[in-house]
Structure 1
Amino acid sequence: MSYCQRILLHLCLLLIPYLLQSQQIPQSEADSLLGVLQTIQADTNRVKIWLRLGEYQVYKPGEFKADLDSARTYAEQARDLSHKLSDYRMEAKSLNLLGYINLESKDFQLAIAFQQAAINLSKNYKDLQAEAESYWWLANALRHKGDIAEARKQAQKGIALSVNNGFFQQAAEAYLEQGKTYDNHGEELMEKIKYFQLAKQAFAQAGSTQRQADLGKDLGDLYQLQGSKALALLELRKALALYRSVGYLHVQGVYDLLGNLSSELGDYQEGLKYGLLAVQTAEMLKDSTLQLSTIYNRLGLTYYNLKQHQKAYIYFNKAMRIAQKYNHRPSIMIVTYNLVNVLNKLGQLRETVQMLISTVEQYPPRNKNDSIESASRLLGSYTRLKQYTLAQPYYKQLLSLSGTLGKNESIRKIIYNNVMPFLVESKQYALAQNYLTEYEEFCSNTNYLQGASRVELYKFKLDSMQTNYPSAIHHYQQYKQLEDSLLNETKSRQIASLEVLHDTEKKEKDIQLKEQNIKALTKERLLQEQQIKQDRVIRNGIVGGAILLLLLLGAVYNRYRLKQQSNRLLQAQQSKLQEQHEELQTQQAALQEQQQQIQEKNQALEGLLVEKERLLKEIHHRVKNNLQIVMSLLDSQVASLQDKAALSAIQDSQNRVQAMALIHQKLYQAEGVARIPMDTYVEEVVAYLQDTYALSQQVDFKLNIEPIELDVNLAVPLGLIINEAITNAFKYAFPQERSGVVGVSLLKQVDTRYELTIEDDGVGLPQGYDPSQSRSLGMTLIHGFSAQLGGELTIETSRGVKLSLLFTDKKLSSIHKKADYVY
């Protein structure tokens, strides 16, 4: 046998204690073991290699009969040879492996028989460790068969035997098996968490770091199901640290869970960081399993919550490709509905309908809940397209399905939230009023606060459309109060979770500190004992030295008299130095007092600054709410007008108010109170205008907005210019169902100089039309705000219309008179 083969065989022997407790074995190891197998004799080492090869075959990806047959052959060879060698521990391990192979083949009775045979063999030869291991394997087989009571009984036997004899690895596996017999909800979930925690502790005692990390990841999942998000986050962070400590690379699942939890706690930036790490890790490791679909989907949701809809759309599409590769219906349905949501935000309403119809044709509803989900989505999409005739059948289908539900079933939320917009938008006021009463009762019975908020919004819309303005204003105020309450409640829950996380981390650090202190005290006690021994030696030496000292005293006395005079001089100098030192201490105390006063003033100023920022955010919040009320009142006025010119004027006014409202919304949501992130702001303005006009033809947008932050004094006129230019494109650029593209870009040129470009490929300006001489309100506003920005405005009409504005991030010029807006 060569040197390399001996090394490999030695490594194999070291791995045998963890046989059947790891997962997939690298193929390179299996290939090497096959080579070693040809060079060794028929002894225990050959048995161990056969077991390792059998484990490799049974844990290979996929469920292929050929792999299981190969695993069974290796296990049977290991069993026969170990029996011949009277190596009963290896024979028991062979029986355990045969039991697991039959479990994978769904032959539960034979699997149980093999595990029971392993227990009997271990008992006969009084091998307690092998017996303890076989108990949890038997519990595993019983659990898969569905005999939960017996599985728990056998797992408890394994726990008792392992704990009493200090078999930590076997105890950990038995705890884990016991935990797996409980469901993921209610009191059973609490029991499951308890046993998983015990398993994790036992793996730590056994020194199995990777298995300890596996349990930490599982506990993170369970805590999340329990609603203990802070504990889940803490466990996942510990699991990640453990995986890194052993160099384990396949941590994309941990990153994914950390990102999802962070996003659920409202920390979307942290969620984005971990989501991107999950994607990078999975792609680096060439992970193409179904897990990758979940990773892409959750990253898409994080971008969606950050209102970065284009990026969300990209990752939802990636998730869909993986889900379709495995034809996994649940994943396909989840990702489909996420794609529908983001397409709605991007204004691609027709694509959402096509996607939903295609999905329903390919994956017809299998039950009542599937039917409700698909019908509700289609009803909502046709309502947004204002195609009420096509929406009507789905409305009737939902009414029919609603009759089969219990009065307070939670799935009714989906029905109410899609039926109510349809009835209101299609002006079926009587039906809407009746359905609204039913919705309000449901919200009251189920304590559905978000639904109660929507009820007040629908009441506001109905009253507005029927010109009952006092009642409409009252309901709108109720709606805003409920919305603010929901927002505050959500933030309170997030803060509470973060406080729990902080307190838990602090307690753990305190425990670690106490352990360190105990170790330090123990070390100090040992040092003291050593010091006492040394003191005894010194004392004995002193007694002997005292005699010699007496002999020397006579000689030293004369020198002592001489030194006394020198000492007096030294003491006088020392007294002088002491006085100088005391004076310096007095000066230092005065300086410290001054520094303390300065620090107190700084803290007071910081408090005033924080309060100022809070008040500014509150002002922006209220300004935004007031602008929303103005928009709602304008919307109410639309219901009572027939004049198209008046309707168009009001709609233009709503768009301008919305452009300003978005500015104030950004200000009170941002960390600062004076700078606006223009990329997300422009995306939201474009999305709002697409929803407002909802043209029947296809008008696409190409956005190229750099991550620029501008002062609010620049952002407001710039936002209104964008609003006017895009509104003109919707109104005039694409007549007679003509489709086209509108491009919007905002780029930084040099230093503080920026360029805004808005262009379309529409019909262009009328022949002979001079935009600089136009006195229309929209063009007047564009010229006026461009002058206010101190910018250079150019309007071209070679192919469509192209508006370019060059401006700098400097103080605005004074506002011009209306007459000065016209060039």
Structure 2
Amino acid sequence: MRTRPFSLLICCLLLGSAHRLMSQIIDFGEENSYKQVFKQTDNFGPSYLDTLEVAYAKAPSDSLRLTILNDLSYYWHTRDLIKAYQFTQIGLGEARALDLPQWEGRFQITQGAILLRDEKLDSARIVLGLAMKRVRKEELPMLYAQLGYVAEREGDLARAAEYAMRSLKLGRQLRDVHAQALAYSDLSNLFWKQKKYDKGLEQGLLALNLFESRGLNDLDYDFTLYVVGNNYLALGETSQALKYYSHAIAIGERYGFYNNLSDIYISMADLYAQTNQLAQGEAAALHAIEYSELLHNNFMLMRSWLSLGKLQRLQGKYQSAISSLQKSIEIATADFGDAFFLSDAYQNLGKAYAGNHNYRDAYGAFEKYDELQKEVFTTEAAERMSLIETEFEVADKENTIQLQGIQIRKQRIVQTLGIVVIILLFLYLILIFKSARNNRRNNERLRIQNEEKEFLLKEIHHRVKNNLEIVSSLLALQSEQILDPKLRSAMVKSQQRVHSMSMIHQRLYQGKSLSHIEMKDYFQNLGNHVIHSYGLEERVKLECRMDPVRVDIDHAIPIGLIVNELLSNALKYAFPGERKGRIQVALTQKGGVLHLEVSDDGVGKVISDDALGTGFGTQLIALLTAQLDGEMQLVVDKGTSVSFEFQLSKAA
């Protein structure tokens, strides 16, 4: 009977959450009706694609609808290539129907990214070539990046670097920070593949600085964190690598970047292998396989099985390793293209065969590894990469020279103004000297006034303490005249409560702070006073097992009254007859929460309202707990323990 209202509540919450997400990104009632994802905002969760899917058909203009649809198409390729392709086809159809060639080119860039990840490298290159004739100059850096990825997947790292350099130069011309950051990121990845890890790390960190200057977490920033982690891992700095991988995983899981998550978990498997945490590494490889299958991406799936095979080989599970590595090679197919990872698969397969004493197959695998390595690290490729590095360094130097020229012109302007400024500064210094002299006088006056106010506050606390002591003494005298035991007990308790407050004010005027007191010393003195008032100092001992904690007066007084009540109840009921025992008081602070616990090793009797007489003590504890927005928990087991949690920000 309870499940239906609960299910209805959950549905309402989900709908409310979806509505809030929709309003964060899209509000067709505003002038800026679409805050473009990862360009104007990243304040959303993984359901943003569902929001875009609902919204794009309702867009009030063709341009806005196509913008939303293109973002929807592009970012689906990080989760599901099939759905990404479907939305891209819709976008291409609409762009052609509306005769908008620029939009057709944009969707072709997205289509090229999808075809690339679907292992259709030739088709991706053709589509991106068509897009180049249609898109504006501002969109060419993204197009060059996709062409670079095609070249990289085909094993032509030098040509991939050439495209990255084109994108970097154009990004500088356009002052496009994202384009420059993406180019540095791609160069970092290519240097990593060339085993030039120091250079790769340098470019990767430069890319991260540019990405972070935009203040947005996006797909490319997430990938760059992974690339920087790879370079740190290759340099043997595993703790740094793990830091960047963890950051990348957090972003990938928030936005559903399955492609990046698969990449990261593959590298995490390598990291765990290096640190001999083989079980964790195998789990990471299985995560990579899971994300690759969700993505329907054979390239990622091949690499994921490769990482699993590596871990199994290192664990001595040679037969399982052979099976995983063979599966990796089978997924790669004949036209896989990426000799870098394929060679890695054959190398590990050869080692697994050797570990399994199958030396003939091991020799064949190593022979295939050598062939693929020659494809990747050819003399021509090395020369082209060297030329690109030289070109890159020259471009950086030219950029530095231009910046220096601008700096020299600025220095001349500064020198021209310098003489005038010096004269003005001389006059200004005279004024500053006079002002500083006046400030010193004013500061001295303020210091004296502050000391006088501090003295007055201490005097106020001293007088409040004295007045409370007078009230306490009057209550004590009055209680001596009362014959009724219950009434007399109530008067004694009132006297103790007043005394607990007077002790707070005593510590305020005796201490260094006029707003906070140290509670450990306060509890010790309060407890000894209460025990002495019951005459049980020979039988009951108080322990304050806690570090010093400073608490403001708004919390200290209610907490003191609560502890006073609990000490009185423990002394009255926990140690009947001549029983000896111990009472413990502890107060700790974690963040914005205070945790108080008062416990005894007495008879474990539950104190009821009947036992308390009027029940005023119980009511007082409840009222004070509510005042501090606290929660109380009572445990009776071989004694009595009462614990509280108070919110520091909610004191009355």
Please give the range of the TM-score, normalised by the shorter of the 2 chains: 0.3 to 0.5
TM-score between both structures, scaled by the size of structure 2: 0.41
Structure 1 length as normaliser, TM-score? 0.34
- RCO higher in structure (CA 8 A, sep ≥6): 2
